[in-house]
Each structure stands twice: as structure tokens, then as C-alpha cells.
Chains A and B, each alone.
Chain A
Amino acid sequence: MRLFLLVFTCAGSLWAQDLAGIGVHGFVSQGFLFSSRNNYLSMKSSDGSPQWTDGAVSISDSLADNLRVGIQLHMYQLGEFGGSNVQVDWASGDYRVKDHFGIRAGKVKTVWGLFNDSQDVDAIFLWILLPQGSYSIDHKSFYLAHVGGDVYGDISLGKRTGKLHYDGYAGQATVDLNDGYIKQFAESGLVFTSSLGGKTYGGDLQWETPLKGLTIGSSGNMQAVDGTAPAGSIHSPAKLVPSMYARFSRGKVYFAAEYDRIPIHATVTIGSAVIPFVVDGRSWFVMGSYRLRKNVQLGSYYSHYVNKSLDTTQPANYSKDWVVSGRYDFNAYVYAKIEGHFLHGTGLGYYGSTNPNGLAPNSKMLAAKIGFSF
């Protein structure tokens, strides 16, 4: 909140900077949540909570025509998650040998589905919360980036067949100690004091079709997780996490849809007890938006998540969310958003410690955000 106020009051002098070829950009956003019944995302949202601040600064420079280096520092506070510590969001060198082949290495954002790599860049979305079945904001630190390398490129298929964009990667991903997974384990008695993670690899293939504005794509990610806590450990072998998606964007109209499957077959050991931890998450969403005026955008989406490994009639094992959103851009740098959520089920985003009296199966939520980007 203090970071947001500081940057917001300095807005007049913080336009995008180009210092002798070095590009400096940044964003700050401040959110507010008010929910009708349950407390969401570890906040006291039923009382109304402003515990949601994001800020980042990126610096990049082109060392040669096809060689670029950069770093982005990121700070976020989301209820009990994140914190005041500044983290390296990404830091990479990018060597684009040809248009059809480039290499990116360092800490690199992980491309998966429509939004994984950009899910924390609030300024580019109409939505305040992305569909949580696919992009759960309290678990984002684990999925956002990997330390390793990517190969990527664009391949033209000709005027009548469109273009392909590919990205393949391998590396190591870690779970932030202030992440939602860590809090969930802690509520089960497994308190991690050192970060956990594992090897990750995968890829994404997008086809920009000859139909103007239509892109179809598919991603796959393999992710292993191992970690040791004073009271036990977790071992999760790598499983394929697939995603299939389509996006249509032309003029004032935007539509997108995605289907994801998130299987987890982990073993949690606490003392002498060995507990299987199995999740078969299936999620999908459809969304659409329309730009009424240059600075006004309205839209809606439906997000659906079920854990097929458990009884899907129980609210704790599904989450269905109808959402309506609006965004107003004051100018190219400052915007405000408002969003209504109609939540059914409690499978995502809730924690026992902030809901000690249990959870109501259905709830409503109002989210608002103001942001600044340069």
C-alpha cells in the first residue's frame, strides 16, 4: 500500500524512460476485496480488505541487434502471501539468432496456456482475477518462472496457412516460502522452512491461423516437487500438465477459452505417517469482452474447476465462478477496474486459518483495483 501511494504521487514524472538505450518500465497496482461470507485468499475480505499491492520495475538493454539483457524486480502483498521483500521476477539474456530460432537463459517466465507468463501483469488485463481454476493467484509463485533456458521462434507457414510460434524450456522451479501451497501444508502440520521445488520442462505451440485474429495453441509442462521440513517431507514425481486454448481478438471484440488438466500424485510424510496426496484437477474457462470506447472495456467469464479424484458433489472439491468486469483507462498510464464474482464451491482460494468457523458453499465477492504502468 505504501509503495503504491509513493509511486502514485510520483506519477507525473515517471513516464517510460529510455536512458541511452536502456529501457526502464514499471507498474504498481492496489487492489481491494470485499466478500459476502467467506474470507478469500487469506485476507479478512468479509470485512473488506486492501491487502493487495503489486509493483515491479524492469530494466533492459540491447547489447547488439539480436542480443538483449534485462531484469525485473517484483514485490507483491496478497493477504498473508508475498511480503515486503523484493524478488527477481525474471532476469535473462536473449539471443535471437534468427526469427525462427532464439535462446533465452537465466530466470525466465514460464509459457503455459493463455496467461501463465503474464498472469501477474495486471496492467494488460481487463480482469482483476484471472480464472482461478487455471491461474490460482495464491499459488502463482511456483508456476511463474523457472531458472534455466528457453528456445523459441516464429515460423511463417505462408500467406494462406498462417504462422507458428513455439517455445520449449527446461530448468528448475521453486515454491516461494510465502506461497499458498506452503500455507496449506503448514495448516496440515508440515511447516517448511526452506524452499521446495524441482526440475521442470515443457513447451508451448501456437498457431496464428489465416483467420485474422484467431490463435489456437497447446502447452505441456512436466514439474517435479521435492521438499523437506523439520516434521516431514513431500515427494511429487513429474506429471504432464496439459493446456489447450484458443483466442480470437479483432477490433473491439475479444474471446478466449482454455481447458487444463492438473494431476498431482504426491506422497506427504509426517513423522512415520505416509499420506498419499492425489489431485486430478480439471479446469476450463470461457471469456469475452467488448471495448465500448477507447478507454472503457466490459467483459465476462465463467471459470470451472473440479477435483475429479474426490467427490465432486462436495463444495470443497469444486469451484465455479461467474464474473463480470469493467475497466476504465484515465490515460495511457493510469486505470481502474471493478469486478463482481459469483462463487459456487470452496475448492480454491480459501484457508482454514482465516475461516475458523467453516465455509459457506456459495458467496459473492466484489474486487476493485487501481493501477499505474509506464
Chain B
Amino acid sequence: MSKARCLILLLGSLGSWSVARAQDVLVVANKGVQISEISDADLRAIFMGTRTRFADGSHAVPVTLKGGPVHEVFLKNHVGESPEEFRAQWRKEIFTGQGAMPKAFDSESALIEYVAATPGAVGYVSRISSQDGVQSLVVVK
């Protein structure tokens, strides 16, 4: 196999890894939330602060990661904003007294721990295990 073909295969595998990673974003919620699926529109509204309740009527507490590829993929796919625009929108809410920014976490494990312990909490991670104490929500278009 030539060096060029090796390089192409390597780049190809990197590409598929990032696509797989993009598809790996899971929306997770506290187990007390009585829904199993959520629409993209509702996710956007909850994370932009224009909706405060899930479809079951319970209070929604959105939480985010502070940065990284999972954060970027979630915002792009489900909120329709770049991290920069998302941050600017929330800073507008904060500094005009119209909202409070979602709590943000450095790591997925810290986010999962908070979601598991907080009624109504909803966030996103790349993967969960059965021991995490959270439920994953199916996102419908």
C-alpha cells in the first residue's frame, strides 16, 4: 500500500470517527422527567430560555458543558446556534435582567452527576452507562 493511500485511509477513518462522534450526542434528563422523547423545537426553546417546562408540565432545568466538540455538536444540531452566538444570547439575557444562564460544567461526568441529582435537569453528553442514574431522551425532528 502506498503512503498516499495510507494517508487517504487515515483521513477517511478520522472523518468517520468525527461523524460517529457527532451522532453520539445524547440528550439526558433526570429520571423524574415523565417523557421519553423531546422535539428539536422544544429543546431549542428550553436551552434558549423561551420555554421553562417539558411537555409533561414539569419544570425544565437546562444545563450545558462549558465547551468542547459535544457542546458544539449539540448546539449546532439541536439549538441551531454556534457556541459564540449561544453565549452572546445568554449574556444579553443576563445583563438585561431577563434571564439566568444555564449552569455549565467542565466535564460530562460532572454534568451527569448534576442531572441525576436535580429534578427537571436536562443536558447532553457523548455517552452514558446504566449506572449513571439518568435517562436518555429520544430527539424527534
User: Residue A329 contacts which of B52, B84, B100 (CB distance < 8 angstroms)?
Assistant: B84
Task: Report the separation of the CA atoms of residues A150 and B98 in the bound assembly, to the nearest whole angstrom.
Answer: 11
Given A23-B101, A154-B51, A56:B82 Cβ within 8 A: no
Q: Do B88 and A124 touch (CB < 8 A)?
A: yes
Q: Is A291 an interface residue (CB 8 A)?
A: yes
Q: Are B84 and A99 in contact (CB under 8 A)?
A: no
Q: How many A-B residue pairs have CB under 8 A?
A: 85
Determine how close the nearest CB of chain A comes to the CB of B114; give it in whole angstroms. Answer: 11
Q: Are B52 and A99 in contact (CB under 8 A)?
A: yes
Docked-complex contact A108 and B92, CB < 8 angstroms: no
Contact, CB under 8 Å: B98 / A291: no
Residues of A within 8 A of B2 (CB): none
Q: Quick one: given A66-B59, A99-B50, A99-B51, are A27 and B101 in contact (CB under 8 Å)?
A: no
| B84 near A108: Cβ-Cβ < 8 Å | no
Number of residues of chain B lying within 8 A (CB) of chain A: 27
Closest CB of chain B to A149's CB: distance in Å? 13
Decide: B82 and A291 in contact? CB cutoff 8 A: yes
Q: Residue on A with the closest CB to B84?
A: A294
Q: With contacts A65-B59, A124-B91, A251-B82 known, is A109 near B96, CB below 8 A?
A: yes
> Nearest Cβ in chain B — how far from A365, in angstroms?
25
Task: Give the dominant DSSP class at B's interface.
Answer: mixed
In the complex, identify which listed stretch (A115-123, A218-226, A267-275, A302-310) lies at the interface while the others stay far away.
A115-123
The answer to whether A72 and B95 have CB atoms under 8 Å apart is yes
Contacts A60-B100, A332-B87 given; does A165 touch B95 at CB 8 Å: no
Q: Are B103 and A90 in contact (CB under 8 A)?
A: no
Interface size on A, residues (CB 8 A): 44
B85 within 8 A of A: yes
| Distance of A373 Cα from B95 Cα, bound (Å) | 10
Which residues of A sit under 8 angstroms from B53, Cβ to Cβ? 99
Do A90 and B96 touch (CB < 8 A)? yes
CB closest residue in chain B, given A213: B80
Give chain A residues whose Cβ lies under 8 Å from the Cβ of B95.
25, 27, 56, 58, 72, 118, 121, 123-124
How many Å lie between the Cα of A251 and that of B89 in the bound state?
14
For A26, the closest partner residue in chain B by CB is B95
Contact: B50 with A121, CB < 8 Å? no
With A23-B101, A70-B100, A124-B88 given, can you name 8 additional A-B contacts, CB distance below 8 Å?
A25-B95, A27-B95, A66-B59, A94-B98, A109-B96, A121-B95, A124-B92, A159-B41
Task: Name B's A-contacting residues (CB within 8 A).
Answer: 41, 45, 50-53, 59, 67, 80, 82-85, 87-89, 91-92, 94-98, 100-101, 103, 120
26 contacts between A and B (CB under 8 A): A23-B94, A58-B95, A60-B100, A65-B52, A66-B59, A70-B100, A72-B97, A92-B97, A94-B98, A96-B52, A104-B97, A109-B96, A109-B98, A117-B98, A118-B92, A118-B96, A123-B88, A124-B95, A154-B45, A163-B45, A163-B50, A212-B80, A250-B80, A295-B84, A329-B84, A373-B91
